[in-house]
Structure 1
Amino acid sequence: MGKQNKKTSSSISTTETSLAIVEIIRSHDGIRLRQITEELDLSKSTVHAHLTTLRNKRYVVKEGEFYHLGLKFFELGEYVISRKDIYEIAEQEISNLNDRTDRIADFSVEEHGRVISLYSELYNAESTFLSDRRTFYMHNTASGKAILAEFPQPQVEKIIDRWGLPCETKHSISTRDELVAELKETRERGYAINDEEAVTGLYSVAKPVLHPDGRVCGAVSLDSPKYRVNKESIDDFTSQLGQTVQNIEQKLTNCPTSI
């Protein structure tokens, strides 16, 4: 029994090391072997062995002296997203929403306390207001707050405990009391707002999408440069979002196993 536990522990340690290497490569957008060994405080031979395995399995590629993540992750990402019927439903409805507006339409979900953009339509050159990330904090995005507003308070607290409330702009929510008040207001008005809280110059409005059993399964948002926003445009945003959410929820009712 002792030998089996030791072997299991060793396997876990090996897996954690490989995953740590993947995360380091991602965070640096390419990195040398020496830098990885320094960050992980491991021997060159150990890191090289992990990198060799990752390269053989197509998770990592080497370009000159730099290691980068391979397209294997792209293949896996496409599979993870497309295996859910909600993605196909959202893709169609977000495309329709984009066609009806001159803003950036997006469908996002929550996973492990972060917001993941599953599908978005970058309407025009003003999409440069957005960063190239697909994962965001929940407290400073419209989609994140729309989803958080549907969660029970203990679940919200767990997410705050795990990720904190980092400020990405001077407008970001930075305290629990601020977030609690913001989520209360979100529930009362029926939609969430991101007023330059994640990206300076970007204004977003979002509504939650509910599964037929009442669970929140995501949020639809419309993003716009702040200078193009006024009360009339916000009213139009919420109307358009409401129609899209209604369409998605109706399709979910007809396909209850979609998420």
Structure 2
Amino acid sequence: MSMDEAPEPGGGGAPRGGRTSAAGSVLEKSLRILEAVAAPGGPHRLAEVTAAAAVPKSSTFRILASLAEQGFVRQEADGRYGVGPRLRGLSALVSGGEPASIGRILDELRQAAGGQTVHLALHSGETITYIRKLESEQPFRTASRVGMRMPLHTTAIGKSILAHLPGTEVRELIAATGLAPRTPRTLTRAEELYAQLAEVRARGFALDDEENEPTIRCIGAAVLGPGGRPIGGVSVTTVTFLVSREEIESYAPALRAATAALAPLL
């Protein structure tokens, strides 16, 4: 019996035409749960989402867990549920934008960085998800796109996020995901990564020097939320044959100013 056919626990009766109960199919329930999570006043507690979506609590919990695993929902430290980065990325694709002030901040950073590509990403579990990309004014394009999920240890944004997470959480993430290489320059030994994260904390930015994609060099910094916990990050992306490491590091002050300005907006 598939998930769409299974009756609700204690619901009584056989499944009807692929529907789990009078509350609707799993797809219908999931959409109502997403609407409840995205409702104003969030993040919301499980009981609030259950009531707003009109879905049994056991099903709500199970669907939320699946949505959180996929990055559409984010579970906060206190157990409440908020909008996840993949849902924000989808919203940006549909609407074609975000609050004007966010776009202005990112464009100002692009101009300060000589017209290079700028990314904004949000953190969710073991990955980051790009929710905004301003293309370079230079005659080259990168493979990244809005909605793309990337590992933490290979990207400048990801490493800047790791640098601001508790050490125990970083170790748990590495144990769970490993440090798979994406290029020959990817850091695949935990000791090397820990040493680089200490440098990131000291200087306020991270560098991806062809660790995620050949010929691509990025500088990134975290956007910090309440209590100093990272919620995402911003990066400036260049190509190695046009921009030296020294030049890209010179963008650090503008990058840090952008992340500080974005923090209250995100």
**Interval containing the TM-score (normalised by the shorter chain):** 0.5 to 0.7
Q: Does 2:135 match 1:122? A: yes
Partner SS for 1:227: coil
1:171 partner letter:
R
Q: Is the 8 A contact 2:135 2:141 kept in 1?
A: no
1:184 partner letter:
A
Residue aligning to 2:233: 219
Residue aligning to 2:222: 208
Q: Tell me the TM-score normalized by structure 2.
A: 0.61
1:160–1:74 distance in 2 versus 1, CA, 3 Å:
closer
2:103 partner letter:
E
Q: Is the 8 A contact 2:183 2:213 kept in 1?
A: yes
Residues in 1 aligned to 2:225 and 2:88: alpha-carbon distance in whole angstroms: 27
Q: Tell me the TM-score normalized by structure 1.
A: 0.62
Q: 1:44-193 to 2 correspondence within 5 Å?
A: 77-78=90-91, 89-100=101-112, 101-124=114-137, 126-132=139-145, 134-193=148-207
Residues in 2 aligned to 1:166 and 1:6: alpha-carbon distance in whole angstroms: 44
Q: How many residues align?
A: 191
1:6–1:88 distance in 2 versus 1, CA, 3 Å:
farther
Q: 1:227-246 to 2 correspondence within 5 Å?
A: 227-230=241-244, 232-246=246-260
Offset at residue 230 of structure 1 (A) = 2.7
Partner SS for 1:248: helix
Offset at residue 210 of structure 1 (A) = 1.6
Residue aligning to 2:262: 248
Offset at residue 91 of structure 1 (A) = 2.6
Residues in 2 aligned to 1:142 and 1:121: alpha-carbon distance in whole angstroms: 16
Partner SS for 1:228: coil
Q: Is the 8 A contact 1:104 1:223 kept in 2?
A: yes
Q: Is the 8 A contact 2:123 2:230 kept in 1?
A: no
Range with greater deviation from structure 2 (146-155 or 97-106): 97-106
Q: Which runs of 5+ in 2 are unaligned?
A: 1-6, 31-85
Structure 1, residues 44-83: CA drift from partner, whole Å, max 9, x if none?
xxxxxxxxxxxxxxxxxxxxxxxxxxxxx9998117998x
Offset at residue 162 of structure 1 (A) = 2.9
Offset at residue 102 of structure 1 (A) = 2.0
1:166–1:81 distance in 2 versus 1, CA, 3 Å:
farther
Q: Is the 8 A contact 1:129 1:201 kept in 2?
A: no
Question: With CA pairs under 8 Å and 6+ residues apart, which has the higher RCO, 1 or 2?
Answer: 1
Structure 1, residues 227-253: CA drift from partner, whole Å, max 9, x if none?
22335413421122122123224xx1x
Offset at residue 141 of structure 1 (A) = 0.2
Partner SS for 2:241: helix
Offset at residue 113 of structure 1 (A) = 1.3
Residues in 1 aligned to 2:142 and 2:93: alpha-carbon distance in whole angstroms: 27
1:167–1:214 distance in 2 versus 1, CA, 3 Å:
same
Q: Is the 8 A contact 1:104 1:123 kept in 2?
A: yes
Q: Is the 8 A contact 2:217 2:240 kept in 1?
A: yes
Residues in 2 aligned to 1:146 and 1:158: alpha-carbon distance in whole angstroms: 17
Q: Which runs of 5+ in 1 are unaligned?
A: 20-72, 253-257
